[in-house]
Amino acid sequence: MEPQLWWHLARAGGLMSWWLLSATVVWGLLMSTRVLGPRAAPARLYDLHRFLSGLSLVFLAVHLVALIADAWVDIGLLQILIPFTSDYRPAAVAWGVIALYLLAAIEITSLLKRHIPHRWWRYVHAGTFALFALTTVHAFTAGTDTTVVWWTGLALVAAVGFLSLYRLLAGRRSSGGTPPTEGAPVAPPARRDPPGSRPVVVKDTRRAADGVVTVDLAAPNGTPLPPWEPGAHVDLVLPSGKIRQYSLCGDPSDRSTYRIGVLHQPEGRGGSAEVHALQEGQHLAVSLRNRFPLVLADHYLFFAGGIGITPILPMVRAVAVAGREWRLLYGGRSRATMAFADELAALAGDRVRLVPQDTDGLPDLAAALEATPPGAAVYCCGPKPLISAVEKTVAADFPDRHLHIERFAAPGTGSKDTSSPAPAREFQVELRRTGRALPVPPERSLLDVIREAVPDAPSSCEEGFCGSCELRVLAGAPDHRDTVLPADERDRRDVIYPCVSRSRTPRLVVDL
């Protein structure tokens, strides 16, 4: 290769790497200051942040290889690894060498982010500001492309400086605001949909049974909705801002519509009444979860009680299409209250047994379990008494069946978890993103305290079974008092459900 080409490649690679690295810093600051979106940046913005970082490494490699190959500059591998050993502009090269080591530390901890304490990553990642400063000084003192370097350098320094100052001032406002005057009315916070949710519009509503309505939801622009599998539910953000969980009961192959079935509960907390009042064309928001997945098995037995049929219905369709052996025992207060009964009977009448309580009494759980082979997958969803009875029957007489349950309410007497939680003790919660530390007294829930700083912190059941209030734990040991986590995951230290759970350590740090 022509000797001068190595020099031009070194210049071009260095400039491009510096510009891309600076753009990565600016983009990260834009996300952290919420300029690009409220509360949390969408995943695609993080993807672009990582892409810019990766692309800067590619041009950095070009820069380093070209420098080593260029005979005129005469920089070898030793001079790139050890600062102040280069004969060519030793100080300028040294700033670049130090920046190279700092960049390596940032990239390595980013790759290991899921395997190291979050605070380690945070502290090392904060070195990005020093990295930007070192690379900028390196570019200014390298002695090439002076005009381009100075003008772009000034623009980048101004952008990074402004965003850094903005972030600092915004953090102080969030942690040191003036409390409202006692007795003064406090305006309710504006509705902000939770991170990860997507807008939907009410496409249709229909009566499915006495007290039960089905609601079809579609994307406002008609685009396909995210795929889902049987057992999935949506966190539905209602017009009032309430968040409620409803199982998807439609067809997973129909990407144009999410269908939910909702029982009107007059004595509830208002969510079902609001759903029953929805009108076609209203705009809502949803996020998708699946804590009740359908596992692979040769034989299935399904128990459903009342509105608990909603997650079971797509499961029944799936195993029927797959040609598996299955049975469904479906109970309700009366035939008129049992949603989708006609649809189920048409699907496979002999495999479905409807048990209206007013005419047939309670379903015979033991007989249904007796008819299944060992290893059968048993799914149950419905009211507390049904779930408790199935749990007791399986534990006592059929321990070789694999039971899967989903609750619509917190477990009561007869649930698996009969242990008494330890007495509540005061601890302190640090909200890392808002920069506040708050005491959590024994008589208040963690969620209640968090809402002092983040009034619209998401939640729904507030009894520890739905999972909608999930927070990431950055430090400390959670005291899990929820029923979302299975028994073998109750020692997890990376997540907490603050509506009921507390802390085993004096201080708990959460990503909020």
pLDDT band at 47 (very low <50, low <70, confident <90, very high): low
**Which structure tokens are listed for 106?**
């940032």
pLDDT value of position 142: 76
pLDDT in tens, 286-313: 988 888 899 989 999 999 999 999 999 9
Report, as an integer, the average pLDDT of 338-359: 90
DSSP tag of 226: P
**Confidence band, pLDDT 50/70/90 cuts, at residue 132:** confident
Task: Supply the DSSP string of 380-405, one letter for each residue.
Answer: EEE-HHHHHHHHHHHHHH-TTSEEEE
State the pLDDT confidence band at 121, using cuts at 50, 70 and 90.
low
**Average model confidence (pLDDT) for the chain?**
80
DSSP string, 2-64: -HHHHHHHHHHHHHHHHHHHHHHHHHHHHHHTTTTSSSS--HHHHHHHHHHHHHHHHHHHHHH
pLDDT, mean of residues 119-126? 71
Residue 165 has pLDDT above 80, yes or no: no
Say how far apart CA 357 and CA 216 lie, in whole Å: 29
State mean pLDDT over 52-72: 79
Whether 279 has a pLDDT exceeding 80, the answer reads: yes
Between CA 101 and CA 81 the distance in angstroms is 9
Quote the pLDDT of residue 172: 43
198-289, what's its fold? Answer: Elongation Factor Tu (Ef-tu); domain 3 (2.40.30)
Please state the φ and ψ torsions of residue 329, each to the nearest 5 degrees.
Answer: -115, 115
- pLDDT classification of 411: cutoffs 50, 70, 90: low
Report pLDDT digits (tens) over 20-44: 777 777 766 665 544 444 333 344 5
Task: Evaluate whether 273 touches 264 at the Cβ level (below 8 Å).
Answer: yes
Distance of CA 108 to the CA centre of its chain: 24
Average pLDDT (362-372) is: 95
* pLDDT higher at 361 or 460: 361
Q: pLDDT at residue 149 above 50? A: yes
- Residue 487 burial (C-beta neighbours within 10 Å; 0-12, 13-18, 19+): exposed
Which of 10-24, 42-56, 104-118 has the lowest average pLDDT? 42-56
CA distance 237 to 247: 14
pLDDT at 169: 55
Determine which of 44-48, 157-161, 485-489 has the lowest per-residue pLDDT on average: 44-48
Amino acid at 24: T
Provide the pLDDT for residue 403. 94
Three-state DSSP state, 108: helix
Q: Kindly tell me if the per-residue pLDDT of 215 is higher than 90.
A: yes
Neighbours of 89 (CB within 10 A): 17
Mention every residue, 6+ apart, whose C-beta is less than 8 A from residue 352.
316, 327, 328, 330, 344, 345
Q: Are 20 and 62 contacting, i.e. CB atoms less than 8 angstroms apart?
A: no
Tokens standing for residue 289 = 């979860």
Task: Using the predicted structure, report yes or no on whether residue 50 has a pLDDT greater than 70.
Answer: yes
Where are the chain's structural domains? 3-173, 198-289, 299-407, 427-510
- The answer to whether residues 471 and 496 touch, using CB atoms and an 8 Å cutoff, is yes
Any residues with CB less than 8 A from the CB of 370 and at least 6 apart, and which? 398
**pLDDT for residue 418:** 39
Asked if the model's pLDDT at residue 237 lies above 60, the reply is: yes
pLDDT at 345 > cutoff 60: yes
Residue 190 confidence (pLDDT) above 50: no
Express each pLDDT in 473-498 by its tens digit: 999 999 998 878 877 788 888 899 99
Give the residue among 35, 47, 50, 44 at the shortest CA–CA distance from 196. Answer: 44
* 197-201, 268-272, 421-425: which is most confident: 197-201
| Per-residue pLDDT at 42 | 40
Q: How far apart are CA 319 and CA 144, in angstroms?
A: 68
- Enter the tokens of residue 274: 């609001």
- Lowest-pLDDT range of 76-85, 118-127, 209-218, 447-456: 118-127
Tell me the C-alpha to C-alpha distance, in Å, between residue 510 and each of 41, 121, 222, 429. 17, 15, 37, 7
Which pLDDT score is estimated for 355? 95
Q: What dotted CATH number matches 427-510?
A: 3.10.20.30
| Largest separation between any pair of C-alpha atoms in the chain | 96
Q: Is the pLDDT of residue 424 over 60?
A: yes
| Confidence tier at 192 by pLDDT (50, 70, 90) | low
Least confident range from 135-144, 250-259, 489-498: namely 135-144
Fold type of domain 299-407 = Rossmann fold (3.40.50)
Share of the chain above pLDDT 90, in %: 38
